[in-house]
């Protein structure tokens, strides 16, 4: 089934970042909610794939003085700078319990970006669209 450009329902914070001839072929909110005892709340984090780039807004885990902290990041990764995408699975404290977490790791010429995604299936869905766009581009 051929990919179809998305023309409606995109958040304005994505739309303003698009180039005039750029088309969005994949968009998904990727927010996750904190677990029991957690003060975490759902936020509008997202990932989009266009015919030229991966755009995202999410919180990512970074090590600061040996401690994991979450930092809000917004980024743009041009397809010609991406060498591979991989799906990883790990464990994370989620309030008073541990849960599985999934990340889409995107390796670029400048390093690796790890984007948390709610499910493994969504990670594979994003990777599949990326691959299809790469074959058609």
- Distance (Å, rounded) from C-alpha 120 to C-alpha 122? 5
Q: How many domains does the chain have?
A: 1
pTM: 0.84
Residue 46 is assigned to a structural domain of this protein: yes
Residue 7 forms part of a structural domain: no
47 belongs to a structural domain: yes
**Which CATH number covers residue 51?**
2.30.29
120 within some domain: yes
- Domain residues for the domain of 58 are 12-136
How does pLDDT run across 32-52, given as a tens digit for each residue?
A: 655 444 455 556 899 999 999
Domain assignment present for 5: no
Q: What is the pLDDT of residues 99-135, one digit of tens each?
A: 788 999 999 988 888 899 989 999 999 999 999 998 7
Q: Is residue 75 part of a domain?
A: yes
């Amino acid at each position: 089934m051929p990919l179809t450009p998305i023309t409606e329902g995109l958040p304005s914070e994505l739309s303003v970042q698009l180039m005039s001839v750029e088309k969005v072929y994949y968009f998904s909110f990727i927010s996750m909610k904190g677990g029991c005892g957690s003060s975490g709340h759902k936020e509008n984090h997202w990932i989009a794939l266009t015919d030229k780039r991966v755009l995202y807004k999410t919180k990512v885990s970074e090590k600061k003085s040996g401690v994991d902290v979450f930092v809000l990041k917004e980024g743009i990764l041009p397809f010609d700078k991406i060498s591979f995408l991989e799906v990883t699975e790990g464990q994370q404290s989620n309030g008073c319990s541990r849960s599985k977490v999934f990340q889409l790791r995107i390796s670029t010429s400048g390093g690796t970006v790890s984007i948390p995604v709610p499910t493994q299936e969504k990670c594979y869905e994003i990777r599949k669209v990326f691959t299809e766009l790469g074959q058609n581009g």
